[in-house]
Structure 1
Amino acid sequence: MLFVVVAFVLALLSAVSNAQCPFPGTKTVAVISETDFCLFLPPYFSSGGIAANENSAIAFCTKPLAAAPLAQIFPNDFIRTHHYLKNNVRKYVQVTGRIRREKYCLKSSDQGGQNDKRRPPGAKCDGYPHFVELVEPNENIYCIRCCMSSNDCPTDRDTEGCKAVIPGDYS
C-alpha cells in the first residue's frame, strides 16, 4: 500500500513539475501581426473558468514580445488558427481564430468571458487606448481587437460572444 501511495505522489509531482505554471506577469497584451499577438488567460491552475478569473488574468503571447514584457508563452498548439486584420481607416487591429481548449485545461462547459482595460486591473493593449478580448472555450474560439476609438472596441456586449463583438474569420 505504501508503494502505491509513494508512486502516486511521485507521479503527481512529476505532472505538476512538467506543466506550464505561469507566474503573474504583465498586464499588457499586443496585436502586432497574424503570428505576433497576445491574449489574457486565467492563471493555469485556477478554477471557475474564464469569466471567474477576469480580474486575475495574465498575458500570454505567441512568442516573447517587447511590447508585452513578462508575458507567458501560449502552451504548444493552444492557438489552432489565427486571422489578422488591420483597419487603417478606423485605426484598429484584431486577431480572431480557434483554440484547443484542452491544451490549457479549459473546460468545454466554459462559455468564456471578456477582458478589456478594466479587467484585469491595469490591463492595456500596447499602442492603443482601448481593447476588447473574448475567449470562448465552449466554442474553441477567441478574439482580440485593439482600437484607437472606444466605439470600435465595445466592452458592453460581453455576453454576446466573439462573433457579435468582433466580426472576423473564425475558421
Structure 2
Amino acid sequence: MRFGDFAAATAALVGLVKAQSSTSIISGDGPSAPSLTRTAALGSWTPKASSDGLTPPSLDGEGRTININSASDFCLLMPPDPTKDNVVDAEAIAVAYCINPTNGTRPMPDGFIKTAHFRRTPQYVQISGVYDPAVMNLGNNDCGGEYDSEGAEGVGNPVGVTMRNGNYFTQFVGACDIPGSPLFCMRMCPNYEYCKNTYDMMGCLWNQPGDYDQPEAFTNCDADADLPIGVYNSSYTFRQGMRVTPTPVAAPASSNCRTVASPTASGVTYTWNQQAAASPSASSKSGSGSGSGSRSSSSSSGGGSSSGSSSGTKSGATSTSGMINVYALGVTAVLGVIVGGALLV
C-alpha cells in the first residue's frame, strides 16, 4: 500500500470515529426497528377490573407507573410500538410493561423475561436479568440505552414516570453488555447518588452490578450496601468520559436468597412477537404491531442492529463489554490500521 493511500484510509477511519461521537448519535439516534414480516395470533387476555379507582391495565395502555417488588413483580419501560421505534428512539414515549399491571400500564408479554434477580439493599432496590428480544421485536444486536428519572432537562426520559419504590431510577435494556445475552436492569433509589444518570454509556454491568448469568433462575435476595456509582474508594471517583475506564465493581454480597418460581403466565402475546408469529397457528399477515392475548412456545429470532444509548445526559452507546464503550473500539480499529499499514510501507 502506498503511504498516500494509507494516510487517506487512516484519515477516513479517524473521521468515522469522530462521527460516532457526533451530536446526532449523542442525541439518541438509533437504527430502524426490526422488520415485522408476520404478526402473532390473537388470544384471550383480559385485564382485571380496577378496584382502586385507577385506570385499568390494557394492551395499548400509556401508563408509566413502575415498581420493583420482587423477581416476579416488576415493570420495565419499553417502546409502545416496537415495530416503529427501538429502545433509544422511544425514550420520550416509552410506556410501562408490568408483570402485575395497573394504572393504565401494559401486561408483560409471556416469555420476554428469561431470568430475573431482585436485590434489596439499604440504598436501593434493583432488578436485573436476561430477556428474549424476539418477544418484543427488539433487535438481537440492539445496544439499547438508558431511561432515567432525570433526563437532559431534569424531567425524566420518558417524562411522567411514577415510581412506587423510590425517588430516582435508572433502567438499561440492551444486547451489548454480554454479546448473545440481552440484559435488562432497573434500580430505584431514595437518593440520587445511587441512581445517577451521568453514566449512561456504561450499561448494566457497570451501573448496576448484579446477577446476570444464572440461567433460568428467579431469585430474591437482600444485599449489602456498596459505594455510590462511580466511587471506587475515598481517593478515586470515575466520571464518564475519563481517558481510562476502570473495570466494573463486583456486585455487593447477597444474603437471605430464595429461588422463586418464574412469573405466572399471563396469556399475553403482542402481535409484534416474532417468536409467537413463527408458530403454525400464527397469522402470516404482515403489518404494524398491537396488543393481543395468546401464548406460544415456538422459537424464533428477531432481527437486530446496534444503536446508541440514550439518557438524561444524551450520551452515545452503551458499553460493549461492561468495561469499555464502543467509541474505544473505533479508536482501537484506527490504531490497528495505522500499525498494520506502517508495517506494509
Confirm or deny a common fold (TM above 0.5).
yes
1:28, distance to aligned residue in structure 2 (A): 1.5
Larger radius of gyration: 2
Deviating more after overlay: 16-25 vs 115-124: 16-25
Q: Which residue of 2 aligns with 1:15?
A: 39
Residue pair 2:82, 2:136 contacting (<8 A) in 1 also: no
Of the three residues 60, 73, 79, the one matched with 2:113 is 79
Distance in structure 2 (CA, Å) of the matches to 1:123 and 1:29: 7
Is 1:112 the equivalent of 2:144?
yes
1:17, distance to aligned residue in structure 2 (A): 6.5
Residue pair 1:22, 1:44 contacting (<8 A) in 2 also: no
Of the three residues 161, 179, 188, the one matched with 1:123 is 161
Distance in structure 2 (CA, Å) of the matches to 1:149 and 1:15: 43
Task: Give a deviation string over 1:100-152, Cα, whole Å, max 9, x none.
Answer: 01111101231111111201111232131100000014541000000001100
Indicate the structure with greater strand content: 1
Residue pair 2:62, 2:104 contacting (<8 A) in 1 also: yes
Q: Secondary structure at the match of 1:103?
A: helix
Residue pair 1:29, 1:124 contacting (<8 A) in 2 also: yes
Q: Secondary structure at the match of 1:163?
A: helix
Query: Cα–Cα, structure 1 residues 74 and 112, in superposed 2: closer, same or farther, change >3 Å?
Result: same
Q: Which residue of 2 aligns with 1:144?
A: 186
Is 1:97 the equivalent of 2:129?
yes
Unaligned runs of 5+ in 2: 1-35, 46-57, 150-155, 214-345
Is 1:70 the equivalent of 2:104?
yes
1:69, distance to aligned residue in structure 2 (A): 1.7
Larger RCO (CA within 8 A; separation ≥ 6): 2
Distance in structure 1 (CA, Å) of the matches to 2:197 and 2:206: 12
Distance in structure 2 (CA, Å) of the matches to 1:78 and 1:125: 22
Q: Would you identify which runs of 4 or more consecutive aligned residues in structure 1 move more than 6 Å?
A: none
Query: Cα–Cα, structure 1 residues 111 and 45, in superposed 2: closer, same or farther, change >3 Å?
Result: closer
The aligned amino acid for 1:151 is: E
1:163, distance to aligned residue in structure 2 (A): 0.5
> Normalising to structure 2: TM-score of the pair?
0.42
Task: Give a deviation string over 1:27-82, Cα, whole Å, max 9, x none.
Answer: 12100111110010011344341111111100001123xxx522111111100000
Distance in structure 2 (CA, Å) of the matches to 1:127 and 1:170: 22
> Normalising to structure 1: TM-score of the pair?
0.81
Residue pair 1:42, 1:53 contacting (<8 A) in 2 also: yes
The aligned amino acid for 2:143 is: Q
Q: Which residue of 1 aligns with 2:67?
A: 30
Give aligned pairs, total. 154
Of the three residues 158, 176, 195, the one matched with 1:153 is 195
Distance in structure 2 (CA, Å) of the matches to 1:42 and 1:155: 20
Distance in structure 2 (CA, Å) of the matches to 1:61 and 1:101: 16
Distance in structure 1 (CA, Å) of the matches to 2:111 and 2:74: 15
Distance in structure 2 (CA, Å) of the matches to 1:134 and 1:25: 20
Distance in structure 1 (CA, Å) of the matches to 2:81 and 2:192: 30
